[in-house]
Structure 1
Amino acid sequence: MKGFGLKGYRALNMKLVVIFMVSILLPLLLASYVIARVYIDKSNEETGILINNTLTSLSRSLSGYLNELDQLTLIPYYNDDFIYALKVSASESYDTMSKYQLIGITNMLESQLRFIRFTRKDIMSTLIVSDNKPLFYSTNNPMNDIVKDYEFANTDWYQNALQANGNAVFVNPHKQDYFTKTKDVTVFSVARSIREIPSKRPISVIIADANTHVLQNMFKDIDFHVPSLIALLDQDRNIVYANHDIPPGLVKLNPDSRSVIRDGNQAYLAVKQTIEPYNWQIIVLLSYTQLERKTLWVYLTSLLLYIVCLTVAFMFYRMLSGKVMGPVNDIIRTMRKVEDGDLTVRYHSQTQDEFDIIGRSLNSMIAELKQKIETEYVLVLNQRNSEYKALQAQIQPHFLFNTLSGFIALNQIGEKELLEKSIIDLTVLLRYILNHPEMTTLEEELRIIGKYCSLQQLRFGPRLLVSISCDSCAKPFKVPKLLLQPLVENAIIHGMEPLNEACQLTIAVEKIIHEGHHFICIRIEDNGVGFDPQHQDKPGSIGITNTVERLNLCFPGSLFGLESAVGSGTRITIHIPEVEPA
């Protein structure tokens, strides 16, 4: 049973899957990504605000602290007696003064500078020098003393202080190598040249050394929610303080703010803040790996949410799809059974919906189809079988008559052995005609054609040359028996016999593909006398007509081609669709 077209249909289930993907999966995936992206952007924005506010607050605190250190070095200017004591200490007459005078000058200096050290825990020492001569010093280590013959005037901080014209100079982190007990201690310092008020002539240089106690208190409570490194850089971009060990190469790169820098396998997001007016900098190195992990965690959480929503949506989809696809599959199974020829099958509806209406219509169609087949198709089939047998009955006497005529010719010329062999071949042919089923394979048909040509070669001798070939894949194809024999007989009797010279008969079978369809191509060709195809009384017309009618009955889609011209031979081409015969 054909005609329902079920083999190439597009499954409704697949359409539902596509609809599910377009309406649920893709929007849900897009929504999950957008939510994750918005959350990440919002988190990054909040982190940026936190960092900016923290660095702004920290920079203000550090600016105030640096300003305090700057003010410490101005203390000598608050007391004229202090300036006078420094002038005397730096003069050549200092060594000739009385002990009473020396004690007075020393007490004056100590009253000011010791107050600084005792009230500020971060100030480790204060030192006043003139050229290479220490005028006064005060340290938090009572065992400390000035290194003998220390070249103060050759140090960078001393020269920078003199060149600053009375302004404070912050000194890069350095060793207290001018003290005996703390010469290996690293400090950062502020230095200033002390000058006479009227003449601005430099008298001496004061330097205050500070530790990182205050800086440590400022930095210890800073938290950016990811592992981070915080460093304070002076105006020369040397590290003054850092909350952890920082490779100097990272800060020497002088990265742009909000840029990513790398140190081996570690990556950092650098954020900078300048401390005005000192041109110091705070640089924060946030672990870029941890930031990426936070981003990845947001995406993973979003993916988990997407999977949960997808699972719930898929469960609802399966439930609804089952309600739809159950009746659809039942209808398809019913139609496939009808397609296979079972007209007793019926669709049994289990729902009260549109599918019930479709099922009843299908049952009605099957019943009508069964009735039409029983009343019309059987009659047509019987008529076609009768026509087929009548055509075949016309072929058999014609074939026998021509074969027996050949035997008579052999007997007349006295070829007894050849006659005996011909009789044996004829016996094979008759058994094939009488006992073989109505349908045979091309391989068997060509074998019988070979027997027939062998009989004809006994008659024509070397004048008849025969070539038979067949593709192995075409040999099992079923055709009506004696389909090709009338055509071969026409080629020999009407095409070759009139000529008194050798003629070639070619019978070839092959499988071809034409416009995407598979065909069995049968070619019967001779180089005999030929004829005019337009002539009504062409030779062998009865055999050709019978063959064409048998082809149309068995293979409705077959093609029969005839090419011939007087003196140029004849070619017959048959194209049979590669389907089971009707």
Structure 2
Amino acid sequence: MPSYYVKIITKETEKLTEATLVGLTENIQTYLDDLERVTVSPYTNNEVMSSLMLKARGLQSDVDNYSRYKADYTLYHTLPRLLVNLRKDILGTLLVTIDGSVYYNDSDSYLTETRTDYRYTEQNWYREAVTANGRVAFINVHPQDYLKLDSVPEVFSVARLIKDPDSKQPLAVIMADADTVILDKIVRQVSFNVNSIVTITDKDHRLVYSNTYLSPEELHQFVKNPSNILYKQHSYVPVSRTIPISSWEITVWLSKAELASKVSWMHIMGASFAVGGVVLTFFLFFAYSRTLLTPFKEMISVMSHVQRGNMQKRVSIQGQDEIAQLGTALNRMIYQLDELIIKEYRTKLNLKNAEFRAFQSQIHPHFLYNTLNALLSLNRKGEHAHLERAIISLSGMLRYILTSHDTCSLEEEFSIIQKYGELMSMRFRDRLEIKITLDPEIAHIRVPKLLVQPLVENAIIHGVEPCEHPCLVEVSAEMLPKITDEDRFVIRIADNGIGFKPLERSNNQSIGLSNVKERLALAFPGKYDFQLDSRIGHGTYINITITLNKEELPQ
């Protein structure tokens, strides 16, 4: 409704403004007519015309001094008397004869002098008057710089070329100057909207008058796209009318904001109704939300708990309506889902444990086979004391291996490796040195039982035993520096034994390595990296990098 009434008010204001412009245009037209009559005043006096003709003849032939003096006297004294009864708000008239003489008459009777160093015939107003060829020429606002004044005012003028009535030869150019204050007085006699802008432009869209200062860029915007004006954050509607005699265009720019303010009471009423409606809506909403929305909120809450893994949460059901039936169906679905998850979880867990134990069982015979060979070697050498200590160490290792736990801490794993190393040192004596290093920060982290031991066993059996020179087997585990947000640790097994070509490794080696990889895949799916590097004559290097879960980090 406010938009509709703004359109109506805008149209009515435009019509009223158009009617007002008719009177304003006539007032300006009357003033311009008075200025035009000033430019034809030389034609009304024979002495003035004779003096101008004498000036023109002086260019063709010699004129005696008396005649020249008489002509100057007439133009200095007679011509001003012709203009004395004209409008007092005309600033003055300038007459430039064809021979270059300049005569100026000040309407306020000041003895204002013209400049002698001024090129009158090269000015735009002079050329426009000559181009008009006897018709009136309306000159745009220009400085009155042809006079000797302390400050140069801006004026607009009416100019005309004075011609010999008989020969039609040019005699002089006369120009009447008027202050733009006159236009301001005429415009302010008419009442417009407070924020309206009034502009008067000539036929070339140059600004003659404006009741508000407009920069050249702003004036260009007003002229280029008058239907969509944005000036100082306000939009305007143009209403224009042309002044016939001068082809000037007077335009009143009506402020849309001011027009819209006339229906501001509608906005207030509309806002009041809207606020009242919102308050009433919220009141009704809160009045009925307890009965309608509370059950749905409870269902959402239950589903959130179920999403987080709490399968014991249920919806409290009241009544027999559709919402109660929906709650019953939700409870039934949660129960069935819980049963299905438990069954599926148990199945996968049992399968994973079975696979894990199957891989674990592969290690035991492999380990016993290599260890019994070591004991057999000690027996053949007749080292019964060493054999007895070795059997005691083996029994301790078997007791640990045969426990029911499938996992152990790194500290326990490295302890078994230490015992196994002692057992192997008894066999190889000076040919084997084992160096074990464990970072205390990760000693508590749990890994599959006998994860590292088979790799150490492979290093000794397949790397050290065939070698004739003393060998070193290094086993270490440490936390890696943080590169990303994830925490990682690395397990390294290195020896300087005979080495091998990875593509040509023996079956015994393949069983141990494959088993370790399979158990890593089961224990740390997608969170481990296994690297092996071996060269014949340089030894073997194994690097296992594992990413830690947050719950495995030290607190």
Q: Which TM-score applies when normalising by structure 1?
A: 0.48
TM-score, reference length from structure 2: 0.50
